Amino acid sequence: MKYSTLKTIIVARPVSADKPASGKLSSLNRQWSTVEQKPSKPSVLMSSSQPSWQLDENDWPPTQEQEPINKKSKPNHSAALPWDISPKNPSTSTTKSTAFNQLQGFGKPPNSDIKSHLNNPNMSIAAKVSLSPEQQNVLDLVLKGESIFFTGSAGTGKSVLLRHIITALKRSYASRPDAVAITASTGMAACAIGGTTIHSFAGIGLGNEPKDQLLSKVRRNRKASGKWMRTKVLIIDEISMVDGDLFDKLSYIATKMKKSDKPFGGIQVVIAGDFFQLPPVSKGKVSFAFNANTWNDSIPKTINLTQVFRQKDSTFIDMLNEMRMGELSKDSIARFMKLSRELHYKDGIVPTELYATRAEVERSNGTRLAALKSEAVIYTAIDGGKAPPEQRTRDLANMMAVTSLTLKKDAQVMMIKNQGGEDGPMWLVNGLVGRVIDFVDPDLNPDHYLQQRKQIEEDEFNLLDGIFSDEEENVDLKPRILQASLSTNKPSEFPPLRGKVKQEAESQGLPTDGSAGTSTTKPNTASQLVPLVEWFLMNGKREFTVVKRAEFKVENMEGEIQSRRSQLPLILAWAMSIHKSQGQTLQRVKVDLGKVFEKGQIYVALSRATSLDGLQVLRFDPKKVMAHPEVIKWSKDNLIGLGPSI
């Protein structure tokens, strides 16, 4: 089923340079119109972002960052354009031809063409993620029918391994797809692996009643009892948030429904998670799953993954391992305290901010979005499914895809669904951060778009070159007007205008205070146009994709869609909650620990970072770094190799 939205959107369209001009600068004035198709000459703001995936070693080293512009030297025509990040040599004067070459290439790497920034099938990125030996060992045990719990510190590839396990089990039970129950402790974690919550699968509601009452509830529920009877493998992710009492209740229900005294009634149980991360929600004393009376019999094998993929710095890995155990050394405390310094990046992408509370996240994202003076475009989710309204509401609330997504040009966004394979390039993965540069037709070819953009900029540049001389008083006005004519909606780096130049700019309605000028219209309730997003990869490459709606769904064991949502697979990415960040990998992250309230919360937040260089920590208090004593004791008694390796 295809979904459609309203067509009307307000766009800026530059007047063609070959049309008669009524005045010296009239061809640079903007025209605003309401159209029902993509703009013939859309405006663009070039920027960049950081990814959350790991590259093949052949993609290294990344390209060097831009050298700072020498403010004392005479400004060149392209240096002020916000999308030009090509390296500058302050000691070398820039001619018209080199300035435009920098402009039309968008700061492209040497010896490359613009197509290298697009969907290149020859990119040296592994099309298939291979497992490490210890990960492969876990997969082999699962395929042999072993019940197992695999754990490991953050960044050891638990999520990647679990996806491989799910795929392999589905293949093994291809003729009986309802034999594999995919569940997690939270709705968010369940959505991430294409499953449902353990409570929903079990048919127990909140699960607070005594086990006999829960068993009766399941037996009265035809659908729930059928699921239990057909299940051969039960997968539970994020086990740290499942308490021991619930685990025992699940085991009891399984043995009774299967009429077997074997652990879990003979169901193979595959469990993943890290007890050092977020604990179960409890009104009284916390009871972990390993505290359950049936844990040891149900889970005969426990494997601790030790190879860290997310971080490569051994010092940082040691610091995180100390934090995981709640035992920070003086050196580690000193290093974490030094991380309060600001992070600055010349590509314009700011670090993703992590907060302990939802209110902090909403305030940060809202403030950043409101600061952008470009037009707002609102995308409303299209929901459906067979589930009862109450259940569907819960399912949809747990999805990363939001009910209403407001975007603007220059908004920082995060991809929330893997698009690799049939739907997109392999590098377009969950957690990748980028920036909206325009709103375009869904069928637009980014290659054609960028080539068209180059031609527009060349026309504008040549026109300006004929209008202005290279006199000192005009040299700072020329790029400013070019910037305004392209509607970049981004402040320039020039000082305020003065004298005759200021008067000339004022007569044309151009800004004189050092800004590029902005335009704001009423937000659209919906749009046929979709975002064109620029992604900046870890190896220095840039990629552009048109982001279309994707389907997010919750299925039952028979593969029937219970709840579904059609929405852009994007969220605003200036800030997110620590809870939602669990499982994410962030190249640049700013963590505010002022309102942390739970054991393991700081560890979850800081372990999202891939390096110390890309991590900023605010309001760090070593007294708040806590690991649960029971988790520490159980781990030391049951896990081998608590110190992760690289």
C-alpha 638/C-alpha 2 separation (Å) is 51
C-alpha 254/C-alpha 258 separation (Å) is 6
Q: Is 387 marked as a binding-site residue?
A: no
* The three-state (H, E, C) secondary structure of 405-442, written as one string: EEECCCCEEEECCCCCCCCCCCCCCCCCEEEEEEEECC
Query: Do 313 and 275 contact (CB within 8 A), yes or no?
Result: no
Amino acid making up residue 576: M
Query: Do 567 and 396 contact (CB within 8 A), yes or no?
Result: no
Q: Is 183 marked as a binding-site residue?
A: no
| 3-state SS class at 539 | coil
Q: Is 159 marked as a binding-site residue?
A: yes
Angle of the 244-258 helix axis to the 222-230 helix axis, nearest 10: 80
Angle (CA) 339 343 345, round 5°: 155
Q: Is 153 marked as a binding-site residue?
A: yes
Amino acid making up residue 249: K
- Which two three-digit tokens encode residue 590? 């700013």
Query: Do 148 and 141 contact (CB within 8 A), yes or no?
Result: yes
Which residues, including other chains, have CB under 8 Å from residue 239's CB and lie 6 or more apart? Answer: 149, 185, 271, 272, 273, 275, 289
C-alpha 505/C-alpha 398 separation (Å) is 51
Which residues, including other chains, have CB under 8 Å from residue 323's CB and lie 6 or more apart? Answer: 332, 602, 603, 606, 607, 625
Amino acid making up residue 559: G
Query: Do 499 and 473 contact (CB within 8 A), yes or no?
Result: yes
C-alpha 552/C-alpha 399 separation (Å) is 8
Q: Is 155 marked as a binding-site residue?
A: yes
Q: Is 431 marked as a binding-site residue?
A: no
Which residues, including other chains, have CB under 8 Å from residue 43's CB and lie 6 or more apart? Answer: 12, 14, 409, 438, 486, 487, 488
Q: Is 157 marked as a binding-site residue?
A: yes
Which residues, including other chains, have CB under 8 Å from residue 80's CB and lie 6 or more apart? Answer: 479, 480, 483, 492, 493, 494
Tokens 């800081």 appear where?
Answer: 606
Query: Do 150 and 138 contact (CB within 8 A), yes or no?
Result: yes
Q: Provide the annotated binding site for ATP.
A: 152-159
Question: Which residue numbers belong to the known binding site?
Answer: 152-159
